[in-house]
């Protein structure tokens, strides 16, 4: 059951993701998909075992009565894109992306969409319980129809952003040997942009650096190229649903990207997650936008966007979701083109960021724990915060939409349980650097007390 996570299904190839488990997964998923249609689009990332998992999954889906539209190796956004496309009279009712995202190369996983909505949370956990009791599915004739979704996606982007032709800015980008290069290279070339990429060839062993642009050390090579040959830089994670945007002065995180994108939207509704800077929420509201704080997680944000008819959503880590002029999912390639559009429209990214209130923010700081203890720790922390010890910073408000975000007089601190790994994720922000450190020390001490009261497991 450990492979069934909040947002997706993820584990180690052959050890946890083996033929029996994945064929049964496809068989069980077919039950969920059949009420919506008979075709499911399936793509995969650059990992060497992804095509093997495709065959296992397709066998299970076929056994369950679904026909598979095989798109081969594609970025995750291309997989999502398929849910809105017609292929010669065939429209998929669901899609599955086989990807380990930014995890080490031995990992892989499955991101599932049914009827244009993410399949996640209790749906995944219930599916896992069901699969545990299933027999091995019967063997049936293979029903896989190959489709060229990637070309369809590239053509869409080239048409939608044809106005970017002739931009003089020098663009540099790092695909991290993930799958972004399958799309972005041709899009840039077709638009005639002055662009230079590194590590654009897909290689699931990730020989140059780990494909996680939220980690600063993975950006060293693209920063060097930016200072030598570029005006703006982009970096992508392994499956191209997360982006980093770099100027010579700033590493622009997802929440600051949302502020920039919202500049060209009329009184938008923007959803952020609990790790987003207070500066984002306050500035959006000052501009007349509606700003909503919600749970971390790409599935959570997609669902909330649909519920609120929001225009934009973001995570600090670089997931950016557009319903404004797009389909409402996270797409790093689309976000790249929207950022270039801002620059073409005369927006100085660094100047806009310089206008914002100065705050001191930590990166995400991870506290190791166990899968069994992480959620009880958050519950215990909430209990302890009701009666904080003497000397604890004054608490103005506690937001518990996802973990605990403690609002203090001059900033905030966040502690939440990761839904994908056995850690607590913390982040701290203040208008005063020493206060940010004080909030960090106070909440870390309280985490320690919570661990102690739970028996130090």
Domain count, the chain: 4
Token representation of residue 53: 């998992």
Residues 213, 342 share a domain: no
- Average pLDDT on 90-117 reads 94
Residues 372, 322 share a domain: no
Residues 131, 71 share a domain: yes
Residues 108, 37 share a domain: yes
Residues 173, 81 share a domain: no
- Residue 389 placed within a domain: yes
Q: Is the pLDDT of residue 168 over 80?
A: yes
Residues 177, 127 share a domain: no
- Residue 84 placed within a domain: yes
- Residue 156 placed within a domain: no
Q: Is the pLDDT of residue 420 over 80?
A: no
Backbone angles phi, psi at 94, to 5 degrees: -160, 165
* Nearest alpha-carbon partner for 320 in 333, 307, 308, 309: 333
- Residue 247 placed within a domain: no
- Residue 329 placed within a domain: yes
Q: Is the pLDDT of residue 320 over 90?
A: yes
Domain that holds residue 198: 166-240
- Average pLDDT on 161-177 reads 97
pLDDT at 456: 55
pLDDT digits (tens, 9 = 90+) for 51-81: 999 999 999 999 999 999 999 999 999 999 9
| CATH code of the domain containing 410 | 3.30.310.50
Residues 198, 104 share a domain: no
- Residue 123 placed within a domain: yes
Residues 124, 26 share a domain: yes
Residues 264, 221 share a domain: no
- Residue 159 placed within a domain: no
| CATH code of the domain containing 140 | 3.40.120.10
Give the end of a domain, one of 119, 149, 179. 149
Give the end of a domain, one of 216, 240, 264. 240
pLDDT digits (tens, 9 = 90+) for 206-230: 999 999 999 999 999 999 999 999 9
User: Is the CB of residue 330 less than 8 Å from the CB of residue 298?
Assistant: yes
Q: Which residues are registered as beta bridge partners of 416?
A: 425
How confident is residue 132, by pLDDT bands cut at 50, 70 and 90? confident
- Average pLDDT on 135-142 reads 91
Q: Is the pLDDT of residue 164 over 60?
A: yes
Residues 424, 293 share a domain: no
> What integer best gives the mean pLDDT of the chain?
95
pLDDT digits (tens, 9 = 90+) for 250-307: 999 999 999 999 999 999 999 999 999 999 999 999 999 999 999 999 999 999 999 9
Residues designated catalytic:
10, 101, 319
- Residue 445 placed within a domain: yes
Residues 26, 145 share a domain: yes
Residue whose pair of structure tokens reads 């984002």 in the numeric block? 280
Residues 21, 86 share a domain: yes
User: Is the CB of residue 216 less than 8 Å from the CB of residue 231?
Assistant: no
């Amino acid at each position: 059951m450990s492979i069934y996570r909040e947002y997706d299904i993820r584990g180690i190839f052959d050890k946890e993701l083996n033929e029996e488990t994945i064929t049964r997964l496809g068989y069980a998923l077919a039950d969920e998909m059949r009420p919506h249609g008979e075709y499911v689009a399936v793509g995969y990332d650059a990992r060497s075992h992804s095509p093997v998992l495709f065959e296992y999954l397709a066998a299970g889906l076929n056994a369950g009565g679904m026909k598979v539209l095989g798109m081969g190796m594609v970025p995750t956004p291309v997989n999502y894109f398929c849910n809105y496309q017609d292929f010669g009279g065939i429209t998929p009712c669901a899609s599955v992306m086989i990807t380990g995202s930014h995890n080490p190369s031995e990992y892989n996983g499955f991101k599932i969409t049914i009827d244009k909505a993410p399949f996640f949370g209790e749906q995944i956990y219930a599916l896992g319980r069901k699969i545990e009791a299933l027999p091995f599915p019967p063997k049936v004739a293979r029903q896989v129809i190959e489709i060229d979704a990637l070309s369809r996606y590239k053509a869409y982007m080239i048409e939608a952003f044809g106005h970017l032709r002739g931009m003089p800015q020098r663009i540099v980008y790092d695909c991290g040997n993930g799958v972004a290069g399958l799309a972005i290279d041709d899009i840039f070339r077709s638009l005639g942009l002055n662009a230079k990429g590194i590590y654009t060839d897909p290689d699931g062993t990730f020989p140059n650096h780990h494909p996680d642009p939220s980690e600063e050390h993975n950006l060293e090579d693209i920063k060097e190229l930016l200072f030598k040959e570029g005006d703006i830089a982009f970096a992508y994670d392994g499956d191209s649903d997360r982006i980093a945007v770099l100027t010579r002065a700033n590493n622009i995180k997802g929440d600051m990207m949302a502020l920039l994108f919202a500049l060209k939207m009329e009184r938008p509704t923007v959803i952020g997650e609990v790790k987003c800077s207070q500066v984002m929420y306050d500035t959006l509201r000052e501009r007349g936008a509606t700003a909503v704080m919600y749970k971390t997680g790409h599935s959570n944000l997609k669902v909330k966007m649909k519920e609120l008819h929001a225009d934009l959503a973001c995570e600090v880590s670089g997931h950016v979701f557009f319903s404004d002029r797009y389909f409402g999912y996270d797409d790093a390639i689309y976000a790249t083109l929207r950022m270039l559009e801002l620059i073409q429209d005369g927006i100085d990214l660094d100047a806009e960021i310089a206008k914002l209130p100065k705050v001191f923010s930590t990166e995400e700081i991870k506290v190791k724990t166990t899968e069994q203890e992480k959620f009880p720790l958050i519950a215990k922390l909430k209990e302890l915060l009701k009666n904080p010890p003497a000397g604890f910073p004054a608490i103005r408000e506690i937001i518990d939409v996802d973990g605990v975000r403690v609002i203090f007089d001059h900033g905030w601190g966040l502690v939440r349980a990761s839904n994908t790994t056995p850690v607590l994720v913390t982040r701290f922000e203040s208008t005063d650097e020493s206060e940010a450190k004080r909030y960090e020390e106070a909440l870390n001490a309280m985490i320690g007390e919570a661990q102690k009261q739970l028996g130090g497991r």
